[in-house]
Amino acid sequence: MNEFSLIERFFADPAAHEPPPPWLRLGIGDDAALLAEEPGWETAITCDTLVEGRHFLPGTDPEALGWKALAVNLSDLAAMGAVPTGFLLSLTLPEADEAWLAAFARGLFACARSHGARLVGGDTTRGPRALTITALGRVPAGKAVLRSGARAGDDLWVSGQPGRAALGLAVRLGELASTLPEAERWVAALDRPEPRLALGQRLRGLAHAMLDVSDGLLGDLRHILERSAPPPLTAEIEVARLPLAPLVAGGGPPERARTALLAGGDDYELIFTAAPAYRDQILRLAGELDLPLSRIGRLVPATAHPIVLVEPDGRRTLPEVLGYDHFHACQERR
């Protein structure tokens, strides 16, 4: 099977027989795809690479990988408040394994259909297994929620249940028992993250700053602090408000669960900041979307440390761990 028949066979978009969306002028098959431009909109664009042995283990279920590869990119669009449109897939494989490709494509297109994204182009090549997805979305001009808009006095929020993916990885690595009550759910969070697109879109006009948690809550939170305009900010996290209880109730050892929540990567939940005046509105949104939204702290004018944990007994501590650095595959204080 040659490169071109591979693409035709496995990556013919299952939505190709439906009428093309109005933004799609030309899809797969030419030198480039063509997307219509419309006044009053901006295109959001992002790319992420997943490398075998680094972002996923050899032997990872290809269907889960197909889902996740797209989901992590859609999560970046969610964090801007954008609506997904198209995506490009660049796939590098050691061999043209038909069963692997079929399963990968199944997972990829399941995620694509679930979130309204359409494959518009890409590349396949031979080499060590890796894949890069470039995802495109649209957002009304000027309405994207940036990392840079945080202000002193803002509440700090996080969606869903960060920490599950890290515990799922521990289950997969045999470090935690697969018989724990929530073990299966944690593994699902690792394998099949849900990009928080509806939340991101609904937070346009409410959130001052937003990003998605790919490398760990504390580490990613730093990016909001670093990019907010002067004067600089410190984040105070109230430990008692962290959604830790569900992880512990699910069988997570408390210390490990806390570390997973604060520093585990791969959850793809959204962190956002908003004025306290919007608390009720945000909680109503949580109900409408059936997605927990936890107010975990607040932003204050900068103190000596960018992030401070306020323990339940009132002690103020500094975080031990911050996040995941792909060039130093360990968790370390930076």
Which residues in 23-42 contact a copy of itself (CB under 8 A)? Answer: 25-26, 29-42
CA distances from 1 to 4, 26, 98, 240, 309 (A): 8, 26, 10, 57, 56
Buried b (16+ CB within 10 A) or exposed e, 19-34: eeeebbeebbeeeebe
Radius of gyration of the chain (CA): 20
DSSP H/E element including 284 = helix 279-289
Judged by CB under 8 A, the chain residues 141 through 170 that form the site for a copy of itself are 141, 144, 146-148
317 C-beta neighbours (distance < 10 Å), count: 12
- Identify which of 90, 101, 109 has the alpha carbon closest to the alpha carbon of residue 49: 90
Confirm if 74 and 195 have CB atoms less than 8 A apart.
Answer: yes
Name the pairing type of β-strands 324-325 and 328-331.
Answer: antiparallel
- Tell me if 286 contacts a copy of itself by CB under 8 A: no
- Tell me if 326 contacts a copy of itself by CB under 8 A: yes
Q: Which of 9, 15, 61, 90 binds a copy of itself (CB under 8 A)?
A: 90
- Tell me if 77 contacts a copy of itself by CB under 8 A: yes
- Interface segment toward a copy of itself; rule CB under 8 A; list 121-129, 189-197, 231-239, 261-269: 121-129
- Tell me if 60 contacts a copy of itself by CB under 8 A: no
- Tell me if 22 contacts a copy of itself by CB under 8 A: no
- Tell me if 2 contacts a copy of itself by CB under 8 A: yes
Confirm if 33 and 135 have CB atoms less than 8 A apart.
Answer: no
Q: Which of 71, 211, 261, 263 binds a copy of itself (CB under 8 A)?
A: 211
Judged by CB under 8 A, the chain residues 227 through 256 that form the site for a copy of itself are 227
Residue 249 DSSP symbol:
H
Residue located via tokens 């490709």: 101
- Tell me if 279 contacts a copy of itself by CB under 8 A: no
Query: Least Å distance between CB 316 and a copy of itself?
Result: 26
- Identify which of 80, 13, 90 has the alpha carbon closest to the alpha carbon of residue 46: 80
User: Residue 92 or residue 114: which is nearer to a copy of itself going by CB?
Assistant: 92
CA distances from 183 to 99, 165, 244, 327 (A): 28, 10, 15, 29
- Interface segment toward a copy of itself; rule CB under 8 A; list 124-132, 164-172, 188-196, 306-314: 124-132
- Tell me if 181 contacts a copy of itself by CB under 8 A: no
Q: Which of 120, 225, 233, 293 binds a copy of itself (CB under 8 A)?
A: 120
Q: Which of 71, 136, 197, 293 binds a copy of itself (CB under 8 A)?
A: 136
Q: Which of 71, 130, 167, 187 binds a copy of itself (CB under 8 A)?
A: 130
Confirm if 172 and 314 have CB atoms less than 8 A apart.
Answer: no
Confirm if 97 and 63 have CB atoms less than 8 A apart.
Answer: no
Q: Which of 10, 11, 44, 159 binds a copy of itself (CB under 8 A)?
A: 44
- Tell me if 314 contacts a copy of itself by CB under 8 A: no
